[in-house]
Amino acid sequence: MSLFWSVFPTEIVFQDSGEAAGTPRLARVNGVTMSLLDTGDGRARIERILSTDPAHFLRPDWQPGQLLNLSGCTFLDPLAPARASHSTAP
């Protein structure tokens, strides 16, 4: 078993590994902002948790690399997929 540690993001270190990284998107999951990568199958991989609450980092289901269903995510950035349209009828 080997261990690799670096201060650089894995996208930079392993950019030639043949895996397309994509662009991380900001989303809110249960009130917590996260950086997610869409896997293309209705799920997203957690890249980072953007929180000041230490308890958020201790949840095993929110560790970087874990997969989340996109149905529970509210995207905060303009690249997010469109959600259900809202009626503007009077």
pLDDT of residue 45: 93
Element (H, E) at 38: strand 32-38
pLDDT in tens, 25-58: 899 999 999 999 988 888 999 999 999 999 999 9
What whole-number distance in Å separates Cα of residue 27 and Cα of residue 49? 10
Residue type (1 letter), 70: L
pTM over 0.95: no
Q: How confident is the model at residue 66 (pLDDT cuts 50, 70, 90)?
A: very high
Higher pLDDT residue, 79 or 73? 73
